[in-house]
Chains A and B, each alone.
Chain A
Amino acid sequence: MNSTNQVDDRIRKVFDAMTQEVKSGKTYFPLHADASLSSYYEKPQHEAYAYFSFIDTKDREHLLTSFNELWKANQELKPVASAMCDLAFDLREIQGEQSTDLSPFVYTLY
């Protein structure tokens, strides 16, 4: 069984590896206005997931396949996918009760 500290250490390692892989200055989305554009609408960016899809969580390998599919255009993220899968399976085992707390930022990230 992993302790909370061990989990935090592993998350830290994943984060460090992820930020190493993603070269400094890489942008995944625009942060500001662009006067050269006539419109900010985009074509649907994630059509494979936009309507309905599945996630196979039967075992670690199947979940990894889902991650790799998700990041097939993001080679830089693939190296951390495996560790994320491990964490997902381990966290599933050690997660306690769901909290009733609502983050004030639930809209954004959680």
Chain B
Amino acid sequence: MSSDKYILGISAFYHDAAAAIIKNGEIIAAAQEERFTRVKHDPRFPVNAINYCLEEAFIEADDLEAVVFYDHPLLTWDRIVKNCAMIGEESYPTFNSALKSVLGIKLWVEEYTTKAIGTLGKTGKIIFAGHHMSHAASSFYPSPFEEAAILSLDGVGEWSTTTLGYGKGSDIKVLKEINYPHSLGLLYSAFTYYCGFKVNSGEYKLMGLAPYGKPTYVKEIYDHLIDVKADGSFRLNTDYFGYLKGDKTTNAKFHELFKGEPRKPESKITRKEMDLAASIQVVTEEIMIKIARHIRELTGSKNLCLSGGVALNCVANGKLEAQKIFDNIWIQPAAGDAGGALGAAFVALHLYFKESRAPRTGNKDSQHGTYLGPAFSEAEIGAFLDRHEYPYTKFESDADQHTLLAKELDSGKILGFFSGRMEFGPRSLGGRSIIGDARKTDMQSKMNLKIKYRESFRPFAPAVLAEDVSAYFKLDTESPYMLLVAPVKENLRTNVNSEEQLKENNDDMLGVINQARSTIPAVTHVDFSARIQTVHLDTNKRFYELLTAFKALTGSGVLVNTSFNVRGEPIVCTPKDAYQCFMRTEIDILVLENFVLFKPLQPKIDNDENWKQQYELD
């Protein structure tokens, strides 16, 4: 009988349901449910992701030692009840919906699990890991650190919104917390909503909007919305927020403070939204830096592990990194709730079963580049293409393939790049990516208009050979998960003054966005910043070798890397998803491992005109 300990972690019912499986502390697989169901941010119980994890581990469900859920539904219910009891009658609609949702669905994790896989593992009962403990565990246990300060920041999980902890060896201790309704995540989300973006997905847009604005509302935010102590702890003034009543994130008093109703989604973005975005970004960064200084002092550790939805604010992460408060920072790439599935599994292993954590050696994490999802073999891809009679070229030599692709990129072609295991977390990192030449001035608008079908004020992210990162960016550390933003080096910049351009264009961002601001314009934001992914030979050989071939041909070791999907669609998972996205967009070439497909050679897809209606805009 095997003594291997397999533990399944699950997150579900809120947003981005996911499953993860670990074997004796090694991460075997992790994936978000949305990738299988093709429903963006799918919150439903992750039956498909669970089954994938079991398949990847080559085990039956009966082999599971335990099944762990990332959140305690009764503690969440406790918060809802107390919130509604305090608010009274106005909160009744919220109470009604929440009762049906929490007591009618979320409480019954055991039942959903049994229906899905027929067992609760050898423990015979679901282990409920604390929400923030799941976040903390997801950042500490896979990190390269033997010991570290641990910071988890999100909207809210159960009661907590901010958790400060310390991890050493196999143990994690929670030291301090800030509880609901005082939340940096909810504050940021309130501005996301007010500026006309979707809460839970539009935060990224608000962050991308910030560099266009000036932080002219910082004083109003500090004077009216949030009180911050010297140690970074904070309280919101709940008079300005609607979420206690479950109505809206903001309320009339908030609107009065900022002199107007929330911007209507998809309407023109004005100077006001740009300045609000810049302001809340500054406040977020200042608070995160203060908290980081405090936890550094509190724990004495030189290492920091970060997680929770706020840790996806890569601009703030970049500022934190630049402060050098810590010698080393590691951020869980699936920092939001999906990553809670992974953390929950680790909580069970190390805190419930009290299994030791393998000593850390070197500076490598155990996240495997976060390539933790499904991969497809040459035989599977070949069979798919042959079955549908899609014309392709199959390369026996990787070097020949990379040489050809480098030439195509240099000529301005855009590639759908499908390689190895799918990424776990919200970012595409060369497993399921759309890539292009970062030097081309029209690359950004081409990718936006003809492939993503959006007109965006956000630039794309650069993928750069790890060893070249300092040649292009003011960054002296690895950023394998695209979670750090840093400036493009001065010597690569052009003389463009975005502020003047904005004025000349009457604050129309779209007149400014496509200006070349550096020798790698497609990845340079208006403030000369870039959201960097360093590419590493040991975690994504094919992508690394393609970049190397491109550099050998052109002298440039930077490519544009954006997620392989269209707006509102989950990132592609299978060769079929990839082919469909390839054919529905103006991607020129599809790379499925060592198969290369050229658009002009592909048969036309009939009766597919209405596909855009399939996806709700994000």
Contacts and interface: CB of A to CB of B under 8 A. Distances in A.
Contacts of A32: 235, 237-239
A107 B74 CA distance: 16
Nearest to A32: B237
Nearest to A28: B82
Interface stretch (B42-50, B325-333, B517-525, B592-600): B42-50
Contacts of A74: 82
Task: Name, among A30, A49, A56, A95, the residue most crowded by chain B CB atoms within 10 Å (CB to CB).
Answer: A49
B243 A100 contact: no
Contact of B82 (A29, A30, A33, A41): A29
B540 interface: no
Interface residues of A, number: 64
Nearest to A27: B86
Given A55-B107, A57-B108, A38 B75 contact: no
Interface secondary structure of B, over-half rule? mixed
Q: How large is the interface on B (under 10, 10 to 19, 20 to 34, 35 or more residues)?
A: 35 or more
Contacts of A107: 154-156, 185-186, 189, 199-200, 243
A8 B92 CA distance: 11
Given A11-B96, A107-B186, A100 B107 contact: no
A91 B126 contact: no
Interface string B83-111: 11110110010111111111111011011
A55 B127 CA distance: 8
Given A55-B128, A105-B199, A46 B75 contact: yes
B213 interface: no
A53 B243 CA distance: 28
Contact of A40 (B92, B102, B132, B178): B178
B86 A28 contact: yes
B15 interface: yes
A27 to B, nearest CB: 6
Interface string A70-103: 1100100100000010011001101100111010
A106 interface: yes
A105 B125 CA distance: 30
A15 B83 CA distance: 12
Given A40-B233, A84-B99, A87-B99, 14 more contacts: A11-B96, A24-B88, A29-B86, A41-B176, A44-B176, A49-B130, A51-B172, A52-B130, A70-B78, A102-B15, A102-B41, A108-B246, A109-B243, A110-B101
